[in-house]
Structure formats: C-alpha cells, structure tokens
C-alpha cells in the first residue's frame, strides 16, 4: 500500500483508552507498512492530569489490544530538559517573547479565530509591557518566524498531495505554558524528529495544527515528515465522539467480555479506518 515508514501512536493518558484511540493506533500501525517501524509514545507533559494510575492502565490496555511498540516507549515527562534546550535556542534567535495576558484578557481582546477554531492572540505583549508578579507563557513571534523562513511552509498529505500551510492565520502561538513550561506543539515536533518519524498519523481534528508544527520543524532544521490524518468516530450530529460524550472505553468493553480482536474490529473502528484508507486496503484489525 505504502513504502515502509516510521509511524507513532502518541496517546495522552488523561483518561482511559476509548475506541477513537483504537482507530489511531491501528491506523498508525497500518501506515507503517510491511517492514516499517511502529512506535508508541506517551504524551504526559500534563503531569497533573496524567496520573501514574492512568499511565499504567494505558500501557495495560495497549498490551491487551496487541499494540506494542517496535522500540522502547518514550514518555515525554522524562524529557523536559530536552524541550527547554529548544526553547532556549528559539529565545536566543529572538523568536520568542513572554506573554503575561490572562485567558480572560485574551478572550476580551481577540477579534479573530485561527483555522482550528482557537482565538488568535492579539499581540498585546509582543513589545511589552511586563507584569510584575505574573508568570508568563512564551509565544512564538509568528511574523518574525515566517520572515526567517521566507514564506509559510506547507506539507505533503498522503493520497492528497501538497497542502498549503496556514501558519500565518494562527498568530503568536504558545510554546511554553505556565503550568508545564512546554507545549504540545513543541514536544511533538521535537520527538517526531528525534525518533525518526517519517509519516505522522493522527486524527483529522489535528489537521490544521500541522501548519504550526511545520514552522517549528523548519525553524529547527528538523526533517519534514509526510502526514496522514484519519477519519474520526462521529456521533449522530457529526461531532467527534469523545469519552465524555459516551465513547465506549476499551476497559469497559474488556469488563463486558469483549475480546481484543472484537474491539479492534468494532463497527465504529472499522468504519473510520475504511474511510481513511484506499478502497479495499483495510482487511481488519
């Protein structure tokens, strides 16, 4: 179907695995191709919500499902110093600035939304002021970054060709949060480069985020992977089905007597995978 690739499945253990995770894990393994590498990464930078109990449950459920990593599983929470090195590099290049605005202040001042529906930061702190006593987040000066890159980078989406990036429509994104000192965008691009991921697979809900991550890859001189975004499990109204809204949890199905193969071939899982792959490419979990 596709040449051998290195892919990764990177769940964040803020809750138990559900069928949406099963789709992502199977899709990533399929896209690795015959002879490729399938990696598992635990994205647990939110050390408050990602508890040891949830991480242990995640690993147990993955093993039960038959999703095992071809290399040791990487846990992001054990690598904060590596991410700080990247932040230091970007600061020294004048590409980051501290932002002291609260979420409420941003919501009141923002006038635009980004392609992913988030508010575009209005740039209040780009040239000051400093608020004594407030812990800052660190934002990427997007205009300056795109000037350095001399344009907005795009990416190659498997089966769809070259996609034009929209990073300029996201504004100055946060690369270091107050609570964790890092951000998803920073950690995921760093780790994909470090682990040699050649095809990034993930849900369609993260499609727009690719624009931002391509900027970081080019700024840091990291390789550009190809991308493949899979269909989501949707509810009757066409919204992403999350566990909060009643998505079936793997652990619940296990307790109800389901076998691993039955979960991998659940009708909702099969439907999402068939919608994400060329006709006839999916032959079951």
- Whether residues 60 and 185 fall in one domain: no
In this structure, the answer to whether residues 18 and 101 fall within a common structural domain is no
Domain for residue 200, yes or no?
no
Count of domains in the chain? 2
- pLDDT, mean over the chain: 93
51-97 pLDDT per residue, tens: 999 999 999 999 999 999 999 999 999 999 999 999 999 999 999 99
pLDDT-derived band at 243 (thresholds 50, 70, 90) equals low
Are 164 and 278 found together in one domain?
Answer: no
DSSP 120: P
- Exposure string of 182-212, with b = 16+ CB inside 10 Å and e = fewer, is bbbbbbbbbbbbebebbbbbbbeeeebbbbb
Are 91 and 218 members of one domain? yes
Tokens of 257: 């007597």
* 176 assigned to some structural domain: yes
Same structural domain, 149 and 166: yes
Give the integer Cα–Cα distance in Å for 120 and 101: 13
State pTM to two decimals.
0.93
In a domain, 202, yes or no: no
| Same domain assignment for residues 115 and 216 | yes
Q: Is residue 102 part of a domain?
A: yes
- Report the CATH number at residue 97: 3.40.50.620
Q: Are residues 212 and 99 in the same domain?
A: yes
Note the maximum CA span of the chain: 60
Residue 262: burial class (beta carbons within 10 Å; 0-12, 13-18, 19+): exposed
Give the domain extent around 45: 1-72+231-284
């Amino acid at each position: 179907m596709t040449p051998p690739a290195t892919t990764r499945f990177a769940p964040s253990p803020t809750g138990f695995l559900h069928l949406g995770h099963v789709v992502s894990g199977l899709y990533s393994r399929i896209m690795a191709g015959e002879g490729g590498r399938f990696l598992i990464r635990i994205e647990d930078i939110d050390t408050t919500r990602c508890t040891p109990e949830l991480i242990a449950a995640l690993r147990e459920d993955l093993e039960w499902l038959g999703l095992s990593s071809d290399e040791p599983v990487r846990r992001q929470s054990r690598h904060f110093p590596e991410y700080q090195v990247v932040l230091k590099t970007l600061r020294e290049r004048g590409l980051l600035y501290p932002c002291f605005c609260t979420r409420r202040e941003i919501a009141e001042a923002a006038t635009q939304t980004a392609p992913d529906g988030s508010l575009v930061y209005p740039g209040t702190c780009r040239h000051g002021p400093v608020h004594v006593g407030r812990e800052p987040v660190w934002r990427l000066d997007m205009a300056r970054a795109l000037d350095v890159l001399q344009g907005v980078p795009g990416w190659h989406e498997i089966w769809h060709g070259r996609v034009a990036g929209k990073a300029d429509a996201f504004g100055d994104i946060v690369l270091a949060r107050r609570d964790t000192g890092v951000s998803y965008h920073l950690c995921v691009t760093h780790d994909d480069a470090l682990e040699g991921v050649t095809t990034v697979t993930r849900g369609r809900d993260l499609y727009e985020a690719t624009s931002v991550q391509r900027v970081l890859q080019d700024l840091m001189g990291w390789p550009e992977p190809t991308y493949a975004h899979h269909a989501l499990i949707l509810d009757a109204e066409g919204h992403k089905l999350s566990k909060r809204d009643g998505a079936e949890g793997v652990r619940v199905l296990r307790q109800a007597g389901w076998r691993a193969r039955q979960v991998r071939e659940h009708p909702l899982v099969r439907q999402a995978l068939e919608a994400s792959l060329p006709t006839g490419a999916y032959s079951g979990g």
